[in-house]
Amino acid sequence: MIAILGLAIGVVVGLLVQPTVPAELQPYLPIAVVAALDALFGGLRALLDGIFDDRVFLTSFLSNVVVAAFIVFLGDQLGVGTQLSTAVVVVLGIRIFSNAASIRRHLFRA
């Protein structure tokens, strides 16, 4: 719970301060945001399942973002950056969809 509170505070601070992202990190931002979304949906589902855990949420969030960015970086170095990005988006997208379906079952019982 406390992790979600901290995340919300961080988002508000980020929107107010508007920090600039270094240009070298720019190519990894889209994938990192998708990975963050995946972690968010996973956390929401765990919350509804009653097994939410701050530590697991934060580690999955951080590792998702870092691994996604690293895969894109690796792909860029190997010359298959766009293909690997697509692969990451497909995998994370499927997970987001199944988690969203499960959240929907929890909320609307349908």
Partner 1 sequence: MTLLTELTRRPLDPSYADAAARRAVEGDRRGAVSHGLAVLLAALLGVGVAAAALALRTPTAGDRQARALLEHQVLEKRDVVDALEASNARTASEVTALQESALRSSDPQLLDRTRPWAVASALAPVVGAGLRIVLTDAAGTADNPDDLDLRVQDVDLQVLVNGLWAAGAEAVAVNGQRVGPTTAIRSAGSAVLVDLVPLVGPYTVEVIGDAPELQTRLARSTAGQHMAMLHATYGIGVQTSSVAKMELPGSGSLVLREATVPDEALAAAGLADAPAAAGVRQSGADKEGDGS
- Using CB under 8 A, list all residues that contact partner 1: 2-15, 17-21, 23, 26, 29-30, 32-33, 36, 42, 45-46, 49-56, 58-62, 65, 91, 94-95, 98-99, 102
User: What Rg, from alpha-carbon coordinates, does the chain have?
Assistant: 15
Min separation Cβ 84 and partner 1, Å: 15
- The DSSP-derived string for 26-95 is GGGHHHHHHHHHHHHHHHHHHHHHT---HHHHHHHHHHHHHHHHHHHHHHHHHT-HHHHHHHHHHHHHHH
Min separation Cβ 24 and partner 1, Å: 11
Min separation Cβ 9 and partner 1, Å: 5
Query: Which of residues 89 and 91 has its CB atom nearest to partner 1 in the complex?
Result: 91
